[in-house]
Amino acid sequence: MSRRGPRGAVLVTGSTGNVGRAVARHLVLAGETVISGVRADTADPTAGSGVDRMFLLRPPQISDVARYLFPLIDSALDAGVRKIVFLSLQGVQFNTKTPHHAVEKYLRARSAPFTFLRPNFFMQNLSTSYRDDIRDRGEIFVPAVRGRTAFVDTDDLGAVAAVVLTRPGHLRKAYTLSGEQSHDYYGVARQLTAALGYEVRYAAPSAQEYVARLTGQGAPADYIEVQKMIYRVVRANVSALPNRSIRRLTGRPATTFAQFAEREKAVWART
């Protein structure tokens, strides 16, 4: 997946995931050379590939960012990479215990040429992590209560990342990226019901019930802790506020949840 561009290549870490694929696709559409880094803890921008920019994300399984991501950042800076776009987390400046906060802090400490993308919750969480609950049980099982979320489509995030990586004016800036509409999970369930042709309900579990299910599924402790923090943020309505950052950066409105559900409905199809 590459096309020769006028500058050096862009290393896209996590390029097989939803976000990485979207970033790579939009960069290719922009005429850039894309080097795919399947894993952010092993990709090396110094390996003679002509990389001069990097899209960096933290794989969910990597909690020890000092061991795995800091050396990658050091290697990129030593190689003369002139722009590092880091996929961070909405509200990360207030959640100092998250791995994302540690990476942001390290990039600042190294005086790196960074840009931070701080997205709201991905719509794709519902078509990946919670797909089976929706398809097989007809339920959304997250402890959000009545908290609202201005969901973001990863394709929109890919478009934003491509803009930031290819155009000037974004160094040492942080962008909070939300959709232009805000929904609670009862509303999400109604929109999925309309798109899928079968009933989807919001189960409204307690935090304790949610953790018990994750534990029963064998989820690692550090993953569970991150999920607990995430849904505390949702219940506090920190993720509720929509904005037009995606529109301002890309020139097009953010994807609505209804558009996403219709586009991706085959993911939840019952056979």
Condensed to tens digits (0 to 9), the pLDDT of residues 203-234 reads 999 999 999 999 999 998 888 987 898 899 89
Q: In this model, does residue 113 exceed pLDDT 50?
A: yes
Q: Which residues contact residue 87 at a Cβ distance below 8 angstroms, ignoring those fewer than 6 apart? A: 19, 55, 56, 57, 58, 117, 119, 157, 161
Predicted confidence (pLDDT) per residue in 137-188, tens digit: 999 999 999 999 999 999 999 999 999 999 999 999 999 999 999 999 999 9
pLDDT tier for residue 30 given thresholds of 50, 70 and 90: very high
Q: What's residue 63's pLDDT?
A: 83
State the SS3 of the chain.
CCCCCCCCEEEEECCCCHHHHHHHHHHHHCCCCEEEECCCCCCCCCCCCCEEEEEECCCCCCCCHHHHCHHHHHHHHHCCCCEEEEECCCCHHHCCCCHHHHHHHHHHHCCCCEEEEEECCEHHHCCCCCHHHHHHHCEECCCCCCCEECCECHHHHHHHHHHHHHCCCCCCEEEEECCCCCEEHHHHHHHHHHHHCCCCEECCCCHHHHHHHHHHCCCCHHHHHHHHHHHHHHHCCCCCCCCCHHHHHHCCCCCCHHHHHHHCHHHHCCC
Q: What's residue 47's pLDDT?
A: 56
Picking from 196, 230, 1, the residue whose alpha carbon sits closest to that of residue 94 is: 230
Q: What is the mean pLDDT of the chain?
A: 92
Distance from C-alpha of 83 to C-alpha of 92, rounded to nearest angstrom? 21
Predicted confidence (pLDDT) per residue in 45-98, tens digit: 655 568 999 999 998 778 899 999 999 999 999 999 999 999 999 988 887 888
Global pTM? 0.92
Q: Does domain 9-120+152-178+241-254 have CATH number 3.40.718.10?
A: no
